[in-house]
Amino acid sequence: MQKTAFIILGLVVSVFAGFLFFGSKNQVLAVDGDINHSPQVSDDSGISEDERNQHIIQNCTAIKSKLEQLQQSDHLLRVNRGSLYESFSSKLMSRFNGRLAYNNYDASIFMGITANYDRQVADFRSSFQDYDRNLKKLKQIDCRKKPTEFYSQLLITREARKKLHSLEVGIRNDLVSYRQQTSALMQELKNNNSQILPVINSGINGAEE
């Protein structure tokens, strides 16, 4: 019975040791990757690299805390915006496109905007993953010991966030375009006394001459 217990204990310990080993190895690799990356120091702020490093070292705890809060609020934004963007597409735009097609109205412009919108939302999801990975990497770097690497990673994360922001703006622009198209459609309906002018008579939706 004792032998059995020893075997089980040995297996459990070896699995945990392996898990810890691989876990720590990944962290080391993540930091090593940053060391190899040549530090890009922006001169926009007008302070020298040494001064900046001093700032980073002094404010390390506060910076880490800010990054933690930022990550949490970004995750919240990702959840809220993500579900809203998906709902816009699945519950409103696609359904309105369906209504247009149902009434034999040429919905190609609406469908084009929706397709572009869906593509941007998909890009937004994957870009958020990239951004979050970079932010995670940034949090893992010891800013007291490696301020230069920390700042390099901060610049990379900032770029990833910029990309995310431009996608977000693109998504909102698509929503504006869609809204403008519905206004144009409404005007068209008004001009024709609420009668639609079916563009598709052949029964093939979206067919263009």
Residue with Cβ nearer other proteins (32 or 188): 188
Using CB under 8 A as the binding rule, whether residue 146 contacts other proteins is answered as no
Candidates 27, 48, 103, 180: give the one binding other proteins (CB under 8 A). Answer: 103
Using CB under 8 A as the binding rule, whether residue 55 contacts other proteins is answered as yes
Candidates 30, 31, 81, 205: give the one binding other proteins (CB under 8 A). Answer: 81
Using CB under 8 A as the binding rule, whether residue 21 contacts other proteins is answered as no
What residue type is 148 in one-letter code?
A: T
Using CB under 8 A as the binding rule, whether residue 88 contacts other proteins is answered as yes
Candidates 40, 80, 122, 207: give the one binding other proteins (CB under 8 A). Answer: 80
The sign of the CA dihedral 166, 172, 174, 177 is negative
Candidates 20, 28, 29, 92: give the one binding other proteins (CB under 8 A). Answer: 92
Using CB under 8 A as the binding rule, whether residue 77 contacts other proteins is answered as yes
Using CB under 8 A as the binding rule, whether residue 29 contacts other proteins is answered as no
Using CB under 8 A as the binding rule, whether residue 48 contacts other proteins is answered as no
Candidates 27, 40, 48, 73: give the one binding other proteins (CB under 8 A). Answer: 73
Q: Using alpha carbons, list the distances in angstroms from residue 199 to 105, 114, 134, 184, 208.
A: 6, 19, 49, 15, 9
Helices (H), 88-146: 94-102, 108-140
Task: Report the Cα 189 to chain-centroid distance in Å.
Answer: 39
Shortest Cβ distance from residue 115 to other proteins (Å)? 17
Question: Alpha-carbon distance 5 to 12, whole Å?
Answer: 11
Using CB under 8 A as the binding rule, whether residue 132 contacts other proteins is answered as yes
| Part of the chain binding other proteins (CB under 8 A), chosen from 10-18, 30-38, 112-120, 201-209 | 10-18
Question: Alpha-carbon distance 160 to 154, whole Å?
Answer: 10
What residue type is 196 in one-letter code?
A: I
Nearest to 146 by CA among 39, 22, 19, 68: 39
141 close to 32: Cβ distance less than 8 angstroms: no
